[in-house]
Amino acid sequence: MKSLWLRNILHRPWWVLLVGILFIAGAGIGAKNLYFRGDYKVYFQPDNPQLLDFEKMQEEFSKNESATIIISPPQGSVFNPQTLRLIYELTDEAWQTPYSTRVDSLANFQHTWAEGDDLIVEDLILDPDNLDSDAIDKIEQVSLQEPNLVNKIIAPDGKASVINITVNMPEKDKTAAVKEVADWVRALSESYQQQYPGHQFYHTGIVYMNEAFAVEAQKDAETLVPLMLLAILAVLWFLLRSFTGTLATLLVIVTTIVATMGLTGWSGIFLSTATVNAPTLIMTLAVADCVHVISSMLFALRQGKNKAEALHYSMDINLMPIFITSATTAIGFLTMNFSNVPILADLGNVSALGVMLAFVFSVTLLPALLMVLPMRVTRQQEHKGRGIEVFGEWVIRHHRRLLPVTFVIAAIAVAASFHNRVNDVAVEYFDHSTAFRQSADFQEQHLSGMSTVDFALFTGEPSALNDPQVLQAVEDFSQWLREQPEVDHVNTIADTFKRLNKNMHGDDQQYYRLPDSQQLAAQYLLLYEMSLPYGLDLNNQVNLDKSATRIMATMENLGSKEFTAFEQRATQWMAERAPALTVTAASPALMFAHIGELNMDSMLKGTLLALVLISGLLVFALRSWRMGVISLIPNLLPAGIGFGIWGLLSGNINLGLSVVLSMALGIIVDDTVHFLSKYRLARGEGKTAEEGVRYAFASVGRALWVTTLVLVIGFSVLSLSSFALNADMGLLTGIIILMALAVDFLFLPAFLMVFDKQQSNEGVRE
Partner 1 sequence: MMSKVSISHVAVLIITAVLLATPAQVQSSEQKGLEIAEERKARDRGWGDSQADASMILRTASGQQIERKMRMKSLEMQDDGDKGLTIFDQPADVKGTAFLNYSHAIEPDDQWMYLPALKRVKRISSRNKSGPFMGSEFAFEDLSSFEVAKYAYKYLRDEKINGMDAFVVEQTPAYEHSGYTKMVVWIDKEHYRAHKVEYYDRKGSLLKTLTMHDYQQYLDKYWRPMKLSMVNNQNGKSTDLITHELTFRTGLDEGDFNQAMLKRAR
Contact footprint for partner 1 (CB under 8 A): 59-60, 62-63, 95-98, 100-101, 115, 117-122, 168, 462-463, 466, 504, 515, 517-524, 526-527, 529-539, 542, 544-546
CB-CB contact of 564 with 594 (8 Å): yes
Return the exposure string of 313-331: e unless at least 16 CB atoms fall within 10 Å of the residue's CB, then b.
bbbeebbebbbbbbbbbbb
Residue type, 580: A
Strands 652-653 and 487-491, by their bridges, are unpaired
271/278 Cα distance (integer angstroms): 10
CB-CB contact of 282 with 355 (8 Å): yes
For partner 1, the closer of residues 62 and 242 by Cβ is 62
For partner 1, the closer of residues 466 and 615 by Cβ is 466
Q: Chain-centre distance of CA 307, in angstroms?
A: 46
For partner 1, the closer of residues 540 and 760 by Cβ is 540
Taking Cα atoms as reference points, which of 410, 407, 400 lies closest to residue 757? 400
For partner 1, the closer of residues 168 and 438 by Cβ is 168
CB of 112 to partner 1, least distance (A): 9
Q: CB neighbours (10 Å) of residue 612?
A: 11
**Local structure of residue 542 (DSSP, 8 states):** B
Return the exposure string of 531-567: e unless at least 16 CB atoms fall within 10 Å of the residue's CB, then b.
eeeeeeebbbbbbeebbbbbbbbbbbbbbbbbbbebb
CB of 476 to partner 1, least distance (A): 22
For partner 1, the closer of residues 33 and 539 by Cβ is 539
CA distances, 160 to each of 77, 155, 193, 382, 541 (Å): 7, 5, 15, 69, 25
CB of 518 to partner 1, least distance (A): 5
Q: CB neighbours (10 Å) of residue 445?
A: 11
CB of 189 to partner 1, least distance (A): 17
Residues in the chain: 766
CA atoms within 13 A on the CB side of 303: 10
> Which strands make up the sheet holding 100-104, listed edge to edge?
100-104, 161-167, 65-72, 200-204
CB of 531 to partner 1, least distance (A): 4
- Cβ contacts of 90 within 8 Å, gap of 6 or more: 69, 71, 105, 163, 188, 189, 192
CB of 120 to partner 1, least distance (A): 4
Strands 487-491 and 548-555, by their bridges, are antiparallel
CB of 526 to partner 1, least distance (A): 5
CB of 201 to partner 1, least distance (A): 20
**Local structure of residue 64 (DSSP, 8 states):** -
CB of 530 to partner 1, least distance (A): 5
Residue type, 586: A
CB-CB contact of 437 with 430 (8 Å): yes
CB of 60 to partner 1, least distance (A): 8
236/249 Cα distance (integer angstroms): 8
**Local structure of residue 80 (DSSP, 8 states):** S
CB of 582 to partner 1, least distance (A): 16
For partner 1, the closer of residues 535 and 684 by Cβ is 535
CB of 538 to partner 1, least distance (A): 8
For partner 1, the closer of residues 111 and 674 by Cβ is 111
For partner 1, the closer of residues 261 and 504 by Cβ is 504
For partner 1, the closer of residues 103 and 345 by Cβ is 103
CB of 54 to partner 1, least distance (A): 15
Q: CB neighbours (10 Å) of residue 268?
A: 10
For partner 1, the closer of residues 276 and 521 by Cβ is 521
* H or E stretch at 308: helix 307-334
